[in-house]
């Protein structure tokens, strides 16, 4: 077996066929194979590795160079995607070898964190990844939004296709990246797919000329469904403006469906709003995202509570050693190979430390899940250092 990086143009004959077999209906139609070339420009920034034998591609993995907000710091992120193996070459370690090489290279290039959507979460947990909350799908009837039609709200709305509204949409997602923990964005070369496809409507909420909310959506038929993507808003007024817009579709569609972050509570948006909120995780087909730290440099200088603990990192290719974590200044400081002091000690896997950094697990849950050994005194300090937070990945890849 030989591992090599393929050029973007090589992907049509190497990675795309395996990825299409793994994630689409198959056998693929001849015209679908021709469509591969259309998507090549959007993957120009990707790093794609293949494992091959005798000139045949056996497995493939790609990384998208992205950015992610970790507790207020925007960091370079490797978005792992398109992991696929030839059906006759599965369970032979090809993906493991490819992931090791890929993450080595992305880390060496300065990517401090990584995220992905797993085919099996337990597989990636062994690579140091930990689960993040899945976006919620919200379904309701526009008729239940009728009270908002009488509301006098600050701001105004614009309505257009994504082809013309892309720049404003992208600018608002950049604002979300700067402000929302866990939020991740594609590079511009990939993000312009939204503009070029031009297959959605875009409603934008503005106050005093500044964008405060966006929603892209499509309508499947008269009397059918208005299917929205992620509802991105800066505050409750912006959300109410966009919901007010959706209320005006009462005589056009039977239901509205859109995505929201895990910290949204749609059941409290309005009195008498009959709403179905769902976060479905299934294997295969509907995975919650996962993320991990690739370097301890990701933690340096992050906002932290007044805790102090020593961690011993074990079982990982990229994170190791003993380190003192000190948040007494309000910013996290790391001291490598700390051997002195009275700080309590916890032993953590990479997944355990990533769970604390992303705020998805309490230190006691890290212990219960077998992602580390966290004595009670260390758990107290780690809670102070890493208060619980709900990350919102946003990007779907």
Q: What distance in Å separates the CA atoms of residue 304 and residue 324, rounded to the nearest whole number?
A: 14
- Judged on CB neighbours under 10 Å (0-12, 13-18, 19+), 370 is exposed
pLDDT band, very low/low/confident/very high, at 29 (cuts 50, 70, 90): confident
In this structure, are strands 184-185 and 56-70 parallel, antiparallel, or unpaired?
A: antiparallel
For the beta carbon of residue 193, count every other beta carbon within 10 angstroms.
15
pLDDT at 386 over 60: yes
Q: What distance in Å separates the CA atoms of residue 308 and residue 346, rounded to the nearest whole number?
A: 11
Around 29, how many Cα atoms within 13 Å sit in the side-chain half-sphere?
4
Q: Which helix (H) or strand (E) holds 350?
A: helix 350-358
pLDDT at 5 over 60: yes
pLDDT band, very low/low/confident/very high, at 339 (cuts 50, 70, 90): low
pLDDT at 60 over 90: yes
3-class DSSP assignment, residue 285: coil
Q: What distance in Å separates the CA atoms of residue 244 and residue 240, rounded to the nearest whole number?
A: 6
Q: What distance in Å separates the CA atoms of residue 22 and residue 81, rounded to the nearest whole number?
A: 12
Chain centroid to Cα 66, Å, comes to: 10
Q: What distance in Å separates the CA atoms of residue 318 and residue 93, rounded to the nearest whole number?
A: 19
pLDDT at 121 over 60: yes
pLDDT band, very low/low/confident/very high, at 37 (cuts 50, 70, 90): confident
Task: Round the CA-based radius of gyration of the chain to a whole number and report it.
Answer: 23
pLDDT digits (tens, 9 = 90+) for 143-171: 999 999 999 999 999 999 999 999 999 99
Q: What distance in Å separates the CA atoms of residue 319 and residue 311, rounded to the nearest whole number?
A: 11
Residue 139 pLDDT: 98
Tokens at 199, concatenated: 């297959």
CA dihedral sign of residues 285, 217, 136, 391: positive
pLDDT band, very low/low/confident/very high, at 338 (cuts 50, 70, 90): low
pLDDT at 340 over 70: no
Going by C-alpha positions, the residue among 60, 54, 63 that lies closest to residue 20 is 60
CA dihedral sign of residues 105, 110, 116, 120: positive
Contacts of 150 (CB under 8 A, 6+ apart): none
pLDDT digits (tens, 9 = 90+) for 179-227: 999 999 999 999 999 999 999 999 999 999 999 999 999 999 999 999 9
Residue 26 pLDDT: 87
Number of H-type helices and E-type strands within the chain: 11, 21
pLDDT at 32 over 80: no
Q: Which helix (H) or strand (E) holds 167?
A: helix 162-179
pLDDT at 260 over 60: yes
pLDDT at 122 over 90: yes
Q: What is the DSSP string of 41-90?
A: GGGTT-EEEEEEETTEEEEEEEEEEEEEEETTEEEEEEEEEEEEE-TTST
Q: What distance in Å separates the CA atoms of residue 277 and residue 30, rounded to the nearest whole number?
A: 39
Tokens at 142, concatenated: 């526009």
Taking each helix axis as running N to C, give the angle between helix 15-23 and helix 30-39, from 0 to 180 degrees, rounded to the nearest 10: 120
Q: What distance in Å separates the CA atoms of residue 24 and residue 55, rounded to the nearest whole number?
A: 24
Q: What is the average pLDDT across 38-57?
A: 95
Residue 341 pLDDT: 65
């Amino acid at each position: 077996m030989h591992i090599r990086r393929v050029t973007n143009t090589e992907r049509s004959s190497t990675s795309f066929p395996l990825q299409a077999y793994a994630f689409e209906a198959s056998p693929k139609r001849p015209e679908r194979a021709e469509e591969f070339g259309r998507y090549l420009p959007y993957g120009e920034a990707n790093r794609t590795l293949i494992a091959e034998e005798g000139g045949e591609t056996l497995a493939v993995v790609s990384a998208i160079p992205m950015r992610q907000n970790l507790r207020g710091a925007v960091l370079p992120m490797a978005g792992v995607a398109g992991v696929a193996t030839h059906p006759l070459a599965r369970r032979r370690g090809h993906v493991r070898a490819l992931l090791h090489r890929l993450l080595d290279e992305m880390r060496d290039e300065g990517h401090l964190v990584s995220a992905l959507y797993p085919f099996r979460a337990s597989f990636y947990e062994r690579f140091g990844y930990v689960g993040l909350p899945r976006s919620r799908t919200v379904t309701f009837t526009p008729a239940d939004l009728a009270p908002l039609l009488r509301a006098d709200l600050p701001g105004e709305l614009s309505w257009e296709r994504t082809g013309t509204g892309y720049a404003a949409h992208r600018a608002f997602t950049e604002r979300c990246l700067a402000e929302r923990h866990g939020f991740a964005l594609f590079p511009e070369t990939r993000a312009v797919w939204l503009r070029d496809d031009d297959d959605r409507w875009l409603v934008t909420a503005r106050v005093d000329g500044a964008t405060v909310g966006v929603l892209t959506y499509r309508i499947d038929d008269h009397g059918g469904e208005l299917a929205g993507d992620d509802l991105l808003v800066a505050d409750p007024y912006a959300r109410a403006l966009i919901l007010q817009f959706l209320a005006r579709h009462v005589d056009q569609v039977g239901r509205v469906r859109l995505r929201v972050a895990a910290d949204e509570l749609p059941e409290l948006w309005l009195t008498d709003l009959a709403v179905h909120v769902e976060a479905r995780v299934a294997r295969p087909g509907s995975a919650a995202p996962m993320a991990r730290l690739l370097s301890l440099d990701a933690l340096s200088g992050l906002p932290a509570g007044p805790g102090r603990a020593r961690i011993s990192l074990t079982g990982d290719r990229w994170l190791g050693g003993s380190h003192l974590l000190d948040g007494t200044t309000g910013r996290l400081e790391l001291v490598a190979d700390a051997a002195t002091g009275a700080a309590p000690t916890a032993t953590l896997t990479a997944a355990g430390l990533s769970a604390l950094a992303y705020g998805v697990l309490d230190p006691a849950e890290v212990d219960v899940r077998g992602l580390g050994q966290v004595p009670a005194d260390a758990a107290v300090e780690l809670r102070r250092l890493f208060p619980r937070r709900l990350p919102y990945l946003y990007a779907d890849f």
